[in-house]
Chain A
Protein backbone atom coordinates (compact mmCIF):
# COMPACT_ATOMS: atom_id res chain seq x y z
CA UNK A 1 0.00 0.00 0.00
CA UNK A 2 1.62 3.25 -1.04
CA UNK A 3 1.94 6.00 1.50
CA UNK A 4 0.52 8.81 -0.62
CA UNK A 5 -2.98 7.45 -0.95
CA UNK A 6 -5.70 10.07 -1.14
CA UNK A 7 -9.48 9.99 -1.20
CA UNK A 8 -11.88 11.75 -3.50
CA UNK A 9 -13.21 13.87 -0.65
CA UNK A 10 -9.71 14.99 0.35
CA UNK A 11 -9.14 16.06 -3.26
CA UNK A 12 -12.45 17.93 -3.41
CA UNK A 13 -13.95 15.36 -5.79
CA UNK A 14 -17.26 13.51 -5.62
CA UNK A 15 -17.79 9.98 -6.83
CA UNK A 16 -21.23 9.22 -8.28
CA UNK A 17 -23.04 6.38 -6.48
CA UNK A 18 -25.08 5.76 -9.59
CA UNK A 19 -22.54 5.61 -12.41
CA UNK A 20 -19.16 5.89 -10.68
CA UNK A 21 -18.02 9.04 -12.48
CA UNK A 22 -15.58 11.21 -10.56
CA UNK A 23 -16.35 14.91 -10.76
CA UNK A 24 -15.63 18.25 -9.08
CA UNK A 25 -18.43 20.34 -7.55
CA UNK A 26 -18.67 24.08 -8.08
CA UNK A 27 -16.22 26.03 -5.89
CA UNK A 28 -17.39 26.06 -2.27
CA UNK A 29 -20.39 23.78 -2.86
CA UNK A 30 -21.00 20.56 -0.92
CA UNK A 31 -23.56 19.18 -3.31
CA UNK A 32 -23.82 18.92 -7.05
CA UNK A 33 -25.14 16.78 -9.84
CA UNK A 34 -23.39 14.11 -11.82
CA UNK A 35 -22.78 15.46 -15.34
CA UNK A 36 -23.15 11.96 -16.79
CA UNK A 37 -26.21 10.43 -15.10
CA UNK A 38 -27.76 13.44 -13.33
CA UNK A 39 -27.71 11.87 -9.83
CA UNK A 40 -27.46 14.26 -6.85
CA UNK A 41 -23.95 14.10 -5.42
CA UNK A 42 -22.53 14.54 -1.93
CA UNK A 43 -19.13 13.80 -0.43
CA UNK A 44 -20.69 11.41 2.11
CA UNK A 45 -24.24 10.11 2.57
CA UNK A 46 -26.34 12.72 4.42
CA UNK A 47 -26.59 12.11 8.17
CA UNK A 48 -25.36 8.56 7.66
CA UNK A 49 -24.50 7.92 11.32
CA UNK A 50 -27.75 9.33 12.73
CA UNK A 51 -29.93 7.51 10.21
CA UNK A 52 -28.15 4.21 10.72
CA UNK A 53 -28.50 4.54 14.51
CA UNK A 54 -32.20 5.34 14.14
CA UNK A 55 -32.92 2.25 12.00
CA UNK A 56 -30.74 0.13 14.25
CA UNK A 57 -32.47 1.20 17.47
CA UNK A 58 -35.87 0.64 15.89
CA UNK A 59 -34.72 -2.83 14.82
CA UNK A 60 -33.39 -3.63 18.29
CA UNK A 61 -36.73 -2.61 19.83
CA UNK A 62 -38.72 -4.76 17.38
CA UNK A 63 -36.35 -7.65 18.03
CA UNK A 64 -37.90 -8.20 21.49
CA UNK A 65 -41.55 -8.76 20.44
CA UNK A 66 -40.29 -10.58 17.32
CA UNK A 67 -38.86 -13.28 19.57
CA UNK A 68 -41.40 -13.25 22.38
CA UNK A 69 -44.66 -13.15 20.42
CA UNK A 70 -45.90 -16.17 18.47
CA UNK A 71 -45.43 -16.15 14.70
CA UNK A 72 -47.87 -18.96 13.87
CA UNK A 73 -51.15 -20.19 15.32
CA UNK A 74 -52.23 -23.73 14.54
CA UNK A 75 -55.94 -24.47 14.94
CA UNK A 76 -57.09 -28.09 15.09
CA UNK A 77 -60.21 -29.81 16.37
CA UNK A 78 -58.56 -30.02 19.79
CA UNK A 79 -57.98 -26.29 20.07
CA UNK A 80 -55.31 -23.86 18.99
CA UNK A 81 -51.65 -23.53 19.75
CA UNK A 82 -49.20 -20.72 19.09
CA UNK A 83 -45.48 -20.97 18.38
CA UNK A 84 -42.70 -18.42 18.57
CA UNK A 85 -39.73 -18.57 16.21
CA UNK A 86 -37.65 -20.50 18.73
CA UNK A 87 -40.46 -23.00 19.31
CA UNK A 88 -40.64 -23.43 15.54
CA UNK A 89 -36.95 -24.30 15.52
CA UNK A 90 -37.50 -26.89 18.25
CA UNK A 91 -40.51 -28.37 16.42
CA UNK A 92 -38.45 -28.76 13.27
CA UNK A 93 -35.75 -30.68 15.13
CA UNK A 94 -36.01 -34.35 14.16
CA UNK A 95 -33.65 -37.10 12.98
CA UNK A 96 -34.17 -35.96 9.38
CA UNK A 97 -35.11 -32.30 9.79
CA UNK A 98 -32.27 -31.07 12.03
CA UNK A 99 -30.17 -29.45 9.28
CA UNK A 100 -33.12 -27.25 8.32
CA UNK A 101 -33.78 -26.56 11.98
CA UNK A 102 -30.21 -25.31 12.30
CA UNK A 103 -30.61 -23.14 9.18
CA UNK A 104 -33.70 -21.48 10.65
CA UNK A 105 -31.99 -21.03 14.02
CA UNK A 106 -29.04 -19.41 12.31
CA UNK A 107 -31.04 -17.25 9.91
CA UNK A 108 -33.77 -16.12 12.30
CA UNK A 109 -32.10 -15.79 15.67
CA UNK A 110 -28.37 -15.47 15.14
CA UNK A 111 -28.13 -13.39 11.95
CA UNK A 112 -30.49 -10.58 13.08
CA UNK A 113 -28.83 -10.18 16.47
CA UNK A 114 -25.32 -10.45 14.99
CA UNK A 115 -26.30 -7.86 12.39
CA UNK A 116 -27.53 -5.37 15.00
CA UNK A 117 -24.38 -5.87 17.08
CA UNK A 118 -22.06 -5.64 14.06
CA UNK A 119 -23.60 -2.41 12.78
CA UNK A 120 -23.52 -0.94 16.29
CA UNK A 121 -19.84 -1.85 16.49
CA UNK A 122 -19.13 -0.24 13.10
CA UNK A 123 -20.97 2.94 14.13
CA UNK A 124 -19.13 3.22 17.44
CA UNK A 125 -15.87 2.56 15.59
CA UNK A 126 -16.58 5.43 13.21
CA UNK A 127 -17.62 7.80 16.00
CA UNK A 128 -14.90 6.98 18.52
CA UNK A 129 -12.11 5.72 16.29
CA UNK A 130 -11.54 1.96 16.25
CA UNK A 131 -8.33 0.09 16.93
CA UNK A 132 -9.24 -2.68 14.49
CA UNK A 133 -7.99 -2.12 10.94
CA UNK A 134 -10.25 -0.66 8.27
CA UNK A 135 -9.79 -3.74 6.12
CA UNK A 136 -11.39 -5.97 8.74
CA UNK A 137 -14.22 -3.58 9.46
CA UNK A 138 -14.87 -3.18 5.72
CA UNK A 139 -15.04 -6.97 5.47
CA UNK A 140 -17.50 -7.09 8.37
CA UNK A 141 -19.70 -4.49 6.63
CA UNK A 142 -19.73 -6.52 3.41
CA UNK A 143 -20.59 -9.69 5.33
CA UNK A 144 -23.50 -7.94 7.07
CA UNK A 145 -24.70 -6.57 3.73
CA UNK A 146 -24.50 -9.98 2.05
CA UNK A 147 -25.98 -12.16 4.75
CA UNK A 148 -28.81 -9.91 5.98
CA UNK A 149 -31.40 -10.92 3.39
CA UNK A 150 -31.29 -14.54 4.55
CA UNK A 151 -33.04 -13.72 7.81
CA UNK A 152 -36.21 -13.26 5.75
CA UNK A 153 -36.33 -17.04 5.49
CA UNK A 154 -38.58 -17.47 8.52
CA UNK A 155 -41.12 -14.99 7.12
CA UNK A 156 -41.35 -17.19 4.02
CA UNK A 157 -41.55 -20.41 6.03
CA UNK A 158 -44.51 -19.06 7.98
CA UNK A 159 -46.12 -17.50 4.92
CA UNK A 160 -46.17 -20.69 2.92
CA UNK A 161 -47.03 -22.93 5.87
CA UNK A 162 -50.08 -20.74 6.48
CA UNK A 163 -50.92 -20.57 2.77
CA UNK A 164 -50.88 -24.34 2.39
CA UNK A 165 -52.39 -25.65 5.59
CA UNK A 166 -55.97 -24.48 5.14
CA UNK A 167 -57.84 -27.73 5.78
CA UNK A 168 -60.85 -26.32 7.61
CA UNK A 169 -62.31 -27.59 9.84
CA UNK A 170 -59.61 -30.20 10.33
CA UNK A 171 -56.55 -28.03 10.68
CA UNK A 172 -55.53 -24.54 9.72
CA UNK A 173 -52.52 -22.33 10.31
CA UNK A 174 -52.64 -18.55 10.68
CA UNK A 175 -49.81 -16.03 10.90
CA UNK A 176 -49.59 -14.45 14.37
CA UNK A 177 -48.52 -10.92 15.52
CA UNK A 178 -44.84 -11.82 16.03
CA UNK A 179 -44.42 -12.20 12.28
CA UNK A 180 -44.94 -8.46 11.76
CA UNK A 181 -42.22 -7.55 14.25
CA UNK A 182 -39.88 -10.13 12.84
CA UNK A 183 -40.34 -8.81 9.30
CA UNK A 184 -39.82 -5.30 10.67
CA UNK A 185 -36.45 -6.34 12.17
CA UNK A 186 -35.30 -7.67 8.80
CA UNK A 187 -36.45 -4.60 6.86
CA UNK A 188 -35.09 -2.10 9.42
CA UNK A 189 -31.67 -3.76 9.53
CA UNK A 190 -31.54 -3.78 5.72
CA UNK A 191 -32.36 -0.05 5.72
CA UNK A 192 -29.69 0.50 8.38
CA UNK A 193 -27.08 -1.21 6.19
CA UNK A 194 -28.17 0.92 3.25
CA UNK A 195 -27.88 4.21 5.15
CA UNK A 196 -24.44 3.40 6.54
CA UNK A 197 -21.64 4.97 4.49
CA UNK A 198 -18.68 2.53 4.51
CA UNK A 199 -16.35 5.33 3.43
CA UNK A 200 -16.63 6.70 6.98
CA UNK A 201 -14.64 3.67 8.17
CA UNK A 202 -11.66 4.93 6.23
CA UNK A 203 -11.91 8.66 6.82
CA UNK A 204 -9.65 8.71 9.92
CA UNK A 205 -6.95 7.03 7.81
CA UNK A 206 -6.86 10.21 5.79
CA UNK A 207 -3.63 12.11 5.27
CA UNK A 208 -0.11 11.53 3.98
CA UNK A 209 0.64 8.53 6.16
CA UNK A 210 -1.67 5.61 5.62
CA UNK A 211 -1.71 3.15 8.49
CA UNK A 212 -0.60 -0.40 7.98
CA UNK A 213 -2.30 -1.88 11.02
Chain B
Protein backbone atom coordinates (compact mmCIF):
# COMPACT_ATOMS: atom_id res chain seq x y z
CA UNK B 1 0.00 0.00 0.00
CA UNK B 2 1.46 3.30 -1.04
CA UNK B 3 0.25 6.27 0.93
CA UNK B 4 0.93 9.95 0.45
CA UNK B 5 3.71 10.01 3.03
CA UNK B 6 5.69 7.16 1.50
CA UNK B 7 9.29 8.23 0.93
CA UNK B 8 10.00 8.88 -2.72
CA UNK B 9 12.62 6.18 -3.08
CA UNK B 10 10.09 3.35 -2.62
CA UNK B 11 7.28 4.72 -4.79
CA UNK B 12 6.44 2.07 -7.36
CA UNK B 13 6.84 4.38 -10.39
CA UNK B 14 10.38 5.27 -9.41
CA UNK B 15 11.29 1.87 -8.08
CA UNK B 16 10.32 0.22 -11.36
CA UNK B 17 13.02 2.10 -13.23
CA UNK B 18 15.67 1.10 -10.78
CA UNK B 19 14.35 -2.49 -10.67
CA UNK B 20 13.56 -3.18 -7.01
CA UNK B 21 15.49 -5.99 -5.34
CA UNK B 22 14.22 -9.55 -5.35
CA UNK B 23 11.99 -10.57 -2.48
CA UNK B 24 12.86 -13.43 -0.17
CA UNK B 25 10.66 -16.47 -0.96
CA UNK B 26 8.90 -18.13 1.98
CA UNK B 27 10.56 -21.38 3.02
CA UNK B 28 7.54 -23.64 2.46
CA UNK B 29 6.46 -23.61 -1.20
CA UNK B 30 3.04 -25.07 -0.36
CA UNK B 31 2.11 -21.97 1.65
CA UNK B 32 0.30 -19.51 -0.61
CA UNK B 33 -2.00 -16.51 -0.33
CA UNK B 34 -5.40 -16.61 -2.06
CA UNK B 35 -5.29 -14.45 -5.17
CA UNK B 36 -8.68 -12.93 -4.45
CA UNK B 37 -8.74 -12.47 -0.68
CA UNK B 38 -5.05 -12.71 0.31
CA UNK B 39 -5.71 -15.33 3.01
CA UNK B 40 -2.58 -17.32 3.82
CA UNK B 41 -3.03 -21.07 3.69
CA UNK B 42 -1.20 -24.28 2.94
CA UNK B 43 -2.13 -26.13 -0.26
CA UNK B 44 -2.90 -29.78 0.44
CA UNK B 45 -1.48 -32.61 -1.66
CA UNK B 46 -4.00 -33.00 -4.48
CA UNK B 47 -5.05 -36.21 -6.16
CA UNK B 48 -5.42 -36.18 -9.96
CA UNK B 49 -8.49 -34.19 -10.96
CA UNK B 50 -8.96 -32.70 -7.49
CA UNK B 51 -9.05 -28.96 -6.77
CA UNK B 52 -8.22 -26.86 -3.72
CA UNK B 53 -10.47 -23.92 -2.85
CA UNK B 54 -9.88 -20.98 -0.53
CA UNK B 55 -11.80 -21.62 2.72
CA UNK B 56 -12.72 -17.96 3.04
CA UNK B 57 -13.75 -16.77 -0.44
CA UNK B 58 -14.07 -20.11 -2.26
CA UNK B 59 -11.70 -19.13 -5.08
CA UNK B 60 -10.20 -22.16 -6.81
CA UNK B 61 -6.52 -22.07 -5.86
CA UNK B 62 -5.25 -25.02 -7.81
CA UNK B 63 -6.61 -27.95 -9.79
CA UNK B 64 -4.54 -31.03 -10.52
CA UNK B 65 -5.26 -32.19 -14.04
CA UNK B 66 -5.41 -35.73 -15.29
CA UNK B 67 -2.73 -36.28 -18.00
CA UNK B 68 -1.88 -32.59 -17.82
CA UNK B 69 1.38 -32.89 -19.76
CA UNK B 70 -0.22 -34.62 -22.75
CA UNK B 71 -3.32 -32.44 -22.77
CA UNK B 72 -1.27 -29.25 -22.57
CA UNK B 73 0.30 -30.23 -25.88
CA UNK B 74 -2.44 -32.15 -27.69
CA UNK B 75 -5.19 -29.57 -27.22
CA UNK B 76 -3.27 -26.50 -28.46
CA UNK B 77 -1.99 -28.54 -31.42
CA UNK B 78 -5.52 -29.47 -32.44
CA UNK B 79 -6.67 -25.90 -31.79
CA UNK B 80 -3.88 -24.52 -34.02
CA UNK B 81 -5.02 -26.69 -36.93
CA UNK B 82 -8.65 -25.63 -36.52
CA UNK B 83 -7.60 -21.99 -36.14
CA UNK B 84 -5.86 -22.07 -39.52
CA UNK B 85 -8.91 -23.67 -41.15
CA UNK B 86 -11.30 -21.22 -39.48
CA UNK B 87 -9.33 -18.24 -40.74
CA UNK B 88 -8.70 -19.32 -44.29
CA UNK B 89 -12.03 -20.60 -45.59
CA UNK B 90 -15.32 -18.65 -45.90
CA UNK B 91 -17.45 -18.51 -42.79
CA UNK B 92 -20.75 -17.33 -44.21
CA UNK B 93 -22.19 -17.17 -47.69
CA UNK B 94 -25.30 -15.40 -48.83
CA UNK B 95 -27.38 -15.40 -51.95
CA UNK B 96 -30.23 -13.05 -52.77
CA UNK B 97 -31.86 -12.24 -56.09
CA UNK B 98 -28.89 -13.34 -58.15
CA UNK B 99 -26.30 -11.73 -55.87
CA UNK B 100 -23.75 -13.81 -54.03
CA UNK B 101 -21.52 -12.70 -51.21
CA UNK B 102 -19.38 -14.41 -48.62
CA UNK B 103 -17.23 -13.38 -45.70
CA UNK B 104 -14.46 -14.80 -43.55
CA UNK B 105 -13.59 -14.13 -39.91
CA UNK B 106 -11.09 -11.53 -41.07
CA UNK B 107 -13.68 -10.08 -43.47
CA UNK B 108 -15.70 -8.74 -40.55
CA UNK B 109 -12.86 -6.52 -39.37
CA UNK B 110 -11.94 -5.55 -42.95
CA UNK B 111 -15.45 -4.32 -43.79
CA UNK B 112 -15.57 -2.22 -40.61
CA UNK B 113 -12.23 -0.68 -41.55
CA UNK B 114 -13.45 0.12 -45.06
CA UNK B 115 -16.59 1.71 -43.66
CA UNK B 116 -14.48 4.11 -41.62
CA UNK B 117 -14.86 2.45 -38.22
CA UNK B 118 -11.14 1.86 -37.71
CA UNK B 119 -11.17 1.64 -33.90
CA UNK B 120 -13.96 -0.93 -33.76
CA UNK B 121 -12.29 -2.80 -36.63
CA UNK B 122 -9.10 -3.09 -34.59
CA UNK B 123 -11.05 -4.30 -31.56
CA UNK B 124 -12.79 -6.97 -33.65
CA UNK B 125 -9.43 -7.95 -35.15
CA UNK B 126 -7.93 -8.22 -31.66
CA UNK B 127 -10.73 -10.30 -30.16
CA UNK B 128 -11.35 -12.67 -33.07
CA UNK B 129 -7.93 -13.06 -34.74
CA UNK B 130 -4.97 -11.76 -32.73
CA UNK B 131 -5.89 -12.78 -29.16
CA UNK B 132 -6.97 -16.34 -30.12
CA UNK B 133 -3.71 -16.76 -32.06
CA UNK B 134 -1.70 -15.63 -29.03
CA UNK B 135 -3.77 -17.79 -26.71
CA UNK B 136 -3.11 -20.90 -28.82
CA UNK B 137 0.49 -20.01 -29.69
CA UNK B 138 1.50 -19.32 -26.07
CA UNK B 139 -0.09 -22.55 -24.95
CA UNK B 140 1.61 -24.56 -27.69
CA UNK B 141 5.04 -23.25 -26.68
CA UNK B 142 4.27 -23.75 -22.97
CA UNK B 143 3.08 -27.30 -23.71
CA UNK B 144 6.35 -28.07 -25.49
CA UNK B 145 8.54 -26.39 -22.87
CA UNK B 146 6.93 -28.09 -19.90
CA UNK B 147 8.11 -31.48 -21.20
CA UNK B 148 11.74 -30.46 -20.91
CA UNK B 149 13.85 -31.23 -17.85
CA UNK B 150 14.69 -27.57 -17.27
CA UNK B 151 12.22 -24.88 -18.24
CA UNK B 152 13.87 -21.66 -19.47
CA UNK B 153 12.93 -18.40 -17.81
CA UNK B 154 11.22 -16.78 -20.81
CA UNK B 155 8.52 -19.47 -20.71
CA UNK B 156 7.40 -17.84 -17.47
CA UNK B 157 6.70 -14.62 -19.38
CA UNK B 158 4.34 -16.54 -21.68
CA UNK B 159 2.56 -18.15 -18.72
CA UNK B 160 2.15 -14.74 -17.07
CA UNK B 161 0.61 -13.16 -20.14
CA UNK B 162 -1.52 -16.11 -21.19
CA UNK B 163 -4.52 -15.15 -19.01
CA UNK B 164 -4.67 -11.73 -20.67
CA UNK B 165 -4.67 -13.28 -24.15
CA UNK B 166 -7.46 -15.62 -23.01
CA UNK B 167 -9.52 -12.73 -21.61
CA UNK B 168 -9.48 -10.85 -24.91
CA UNK B 169 -9.98 -13.90 -27.09
CA UNK B 170 -13.74 -13.94 -27.70
CA UNK B 171 -14.42 -16.55 -30.34
CA UNK B 172 -17.33 -18.01 -28.37
CA UNK B 173 -18.95 -14.58 -28.15
CA UNK B 174 -18.33 -14.07 -31.85
CA UNK B 175 -20.03 -17.40 -32.62
CA UNK B 176 -23.15 -16.22 -30.81
CA UNK B 177 -23.00 -12.90 -32.63
CA UNK B 178 -22.70 -14.66 -36.01
CA UNK B 179 -25.67 -16.85 -35.11
CA UNK B 180 -27.80 -13.81 -34.33
CA UNK B 181 -26.63 -12.12 -37.55
CA UNK B 182 -27.63 -15.25 -39.48
CA UNK B 183 -31.16 -15.15 -38.11
CA UNK B 184 -31.43 -11.43 -38.89
CA UNK B 185 -30.21 -11.88 -42.45
CA UNK B 186 -32.37 -14.94 -43.08
CA UNK B 187 -35.29 -12.56 -43.54
CA UNK B 188 -33.72 -10.98 -46.62
CA UNK B 189 -31.59 -13.70 -48.15
CA UNK B 190 -30.57 -17.33 -48.12
CA UNK B 191 -27.61 -17.83 -45.82
CA UNK B 192 -25.14 -20.63 -46.32
CA UNK B 193 -22.92 -21.50 -43.33
CA UNK B 194 -19.36 -22.08 -44.57
CA UNK B 195 -16.78 -24.63 -43.48
CA UNK B 196 -15.23 -22.09 -41.11
CA UNK B 197 -18.43 -22.05 -39.04
CA UNK B 198 -18.01 -25.74 -38.23
CA UNK B 199 -14.30 -25.30 -37.58
CA UNK B 200 -15.09 -22.40 -35.25
CA UNK B 201 -17.70 -24.36 -33.34
CA UNK B 202 -15.17 -27.13 -32.72
CA UNK B 203 -12.47 -24.58 -31.91
CA UNK B 204 -14.62 -22.94 -29.23
CA UNK B 205 -15.03 -26.32 -27.49
CA UNK B 206 -11.31 -27.11 -27.84
CA UNK B 207 -10.28 -23.72 -26.42
CA UNK B 208 -12.48 -24.25 -23.38
CA UNK B 209 -10.90 -27.69 -22.85
CA UNK B 210 -7.44 -26.23 -23.40
CA UNK B 211 -7.97 -23.54 -20.77
CA UNK B 212 -9.23 -26.12 -18.33
CA UNK B 213 -6.31 -28.50 -18.90
CA UNK B 214 -3.72 -25.79 -18.25
CA UNK B 215 -1.90 -26.25 -14.95
CA UNK B 216 0.57 -23.33 -14.66
CA UNK B 217 1.97 -24.79 -11.47
CA UNK B 218 3.68 -27.51 -13.52
CA UNK B 219 5.71 -24.77 -15.18
CA UNK B 220 6.43 -22.80 -12.00
CA UNK B 221 7.59 -25.90 -10.11
CA UNK B 222 10.48 -26.47 -12.49
CA UNK B 223 11.28 -23.09 -13.99
CA UNK B 224 14.67 -21.45 -13.75
CA UNK B 225 14.35 -18.76 -11.05
CA UNK B 226 14.68 -15.11 -12.01
CA UNK B 227 17.00 -14.33 -9.11
CA UNK B 228 19.43 -17.06 -10.23
CA UNK B 229 20.21 -14.94 -13.29
CA UNK B 230 21.64 -11.95 -11.48
Contact = CB atoms under 8 A, between A and B. Distances in A.
B219 to A, nearest CB: 8
B127 A152 contact: yes
B80 interface: no
A65 interface: no
B58 to A, nearest CB: 7
Interface string A9-42: 1010111011111111110111111111111111
Contacts of A46: 2, 12
B109 A159 contact: yes
Interface in B193-226: 216-217, 220, 223, 225-226
Given A5-B56, A156-B178, A174-B115, A40 B188 contact: no
B124 interface: yes
A33 B226 contact: yes
**Which of B37, B39, B159 is most buried by chain A, counting CB atoms within 10 A of its CB?**
B37
A201 B92 CA distance: 46
A149 B173 contact: yes
B167 interface: yes
Contact of B220 (A8, A20, A23, A161): A20
A51 interface: no
Contacts of B35: 15, 17, 20
A156 B2 contact: no
B66 interface: no
Interface stretch (A56-64, A96-104, A114-122, A124-132): A96-104
Contacts of A153: 173, 176-177, 180
A168 B111 CA distance: 14
Given A29-B20, A171-B188, A19 B109 contact: no
Nearest to B91: A160
A13 B40 contact: yes
Given A5-B39, A18-B160, A159-B112, A32 B20 contact: yes
Interface string A191-207: 00010001101110000
B168 to A, nearest CB: 8
A134 B38 CA distance: 13
Interface string A81-96: 0000000000110001
Given A8-B40, A18-B160, A201-B37, A30 B59 contact: no
B81 interface: no
Size bracket, chain A contacts: 35 or more
A77 B107 CA distance: 25
A213 interface: no
A156 to B, nearest CB: 3
Given A19-B160, A28-B10, A159-B109, A7 B38 contact: yes
B149 interface: no
B225 A36 contact: yes
B25 A30 contact: no
6 contacts: A19-B159, A36-B225, A149-B173, A160-B103, A160-B177, A164-B92
Given A24-B23, A156-B173, 11 more contacts: A13-B33, A18-B159, A28-B10, A31-B10, A152-B177, A155-B120, A160-B92, A161-B184, A163-B110, A164-B102, A199-B38
Interface of A: 1, 5-9, 11, 13-15, 17-26, 28-44, 46, 91-92, 96-97, 100, 103-104, 107, 134-135, 138-139, 141-142, 149-150, 152-167, 170-171, 174-175, 179-180, 183, 187, 190, 194, 198-199, 201-203, 210
Interface of B: 1-2, 6, 10, 12, 15-16, 19-26, 29, 31-33, 35-40, 55-59, 92, 94, 96-97, 99, 101-103, 107-112, 115, 117, 119-120, 123-124, 127-128, 153, 156-157, 159-160, 167, 170, 173-174, 176-181, 183-185, 188-189, 191, 216-217, 220, 223, 225-227
